[in-house]
Amino acid sequence: MWHGSGKNRYLLYGQPVKGKEHIVKSIMAIVIQEFNEQNRHDLNRCDGAFTVDSKLVLRAEDGVISYAIVTVSPYQKQYPRSSIEYSTYIAQLDRGIFFAYVDGELAGQLILFKNWNGYAYIDDLAVDASFRRRGVGRALIQQAVTWAKAKKLPGIMLETQNTNVAASLFYQQCGFTLGGFDRYLYTGLEPNTEEIALYWYLLF
């Protein structure tokens, strides 16, 4: 449940921790702050690197997309930093940036805007490597849902790749549906790439 209002909202996230005699719950406060002049130095500071050790093998039949997960030789991947002009995102109605903080440390960032087709488009959702699997990603998705619903948008869409299996499974767990894929999106940058763009949708 969200607490607080205005520019600072926080989510109390409970994580089970095993003790000697019983299981206790560690409560972690995830604070969400909207992008502003005071915190703009945190833009693109998250360590978004991850290991690729599997990929989704896609199949489309009768309008239904399915996939299998296969292992690949592990390698490290790092997405390019967002090159947006930060000043165009401050106090704007059709776009926004939000940061997640845990104990005063930057834990994640969300960049989104109203897309041409009416959906909220998540341009970037990054969780710092040191804060993964602690509810930060879900808190940022919840912030995106709040933002989109407040603007009466029909849903949220985003794009990731078939080589980012962890992200794909995360979006599916958050209620997103795989609406389509594009085999050629990245071939202009790397002709022999095997990466496939995946388009995920959360409909309200």
Q: What is the pLDDT of residues 82-141, one digit of tens each?
A: 777 888 998 899 999 999 999 999 999 999 999 999 999 999 999 999 999 999 999 999
Rounded CA-CA distance 39/98 in Å is 10
Q: Is the dihedral of CA 92, 93, 95, 98 positive or negative?
A: positive
Cβ of 40: how many Cβ atoms within 10 Å?
14
Instruction: Fold for 2-203, please state it.
Output: Aminopeptidase (3.40.630)
Residue 20, pLDDT score: 47
Q: Are 198 and 159 in contact (CB under 8 A)?
A: yes
Q: Where are the domains of the chain?
A: 2-203
Q: Which percentage of the chain shows pLDDT scores above 90?
A: 79
Q: What pLDDT score was predicted for residue 127?
A: 97
pLDDT in tens, 21-51: 444 445 679 999 999 999 999 999 999 999 9
Whose CA is closest to 32, among 172, 176, 142? 142
What was the pLDDT predicted at 128?
97
pLDDT of residue 52: 97
Closest CA to 154 of 101, 118, 187, 199: 118
pTM of the model: 0.86
Q: What angle do CA 145, 148, 153 make, to 5 degrees?
A: 130
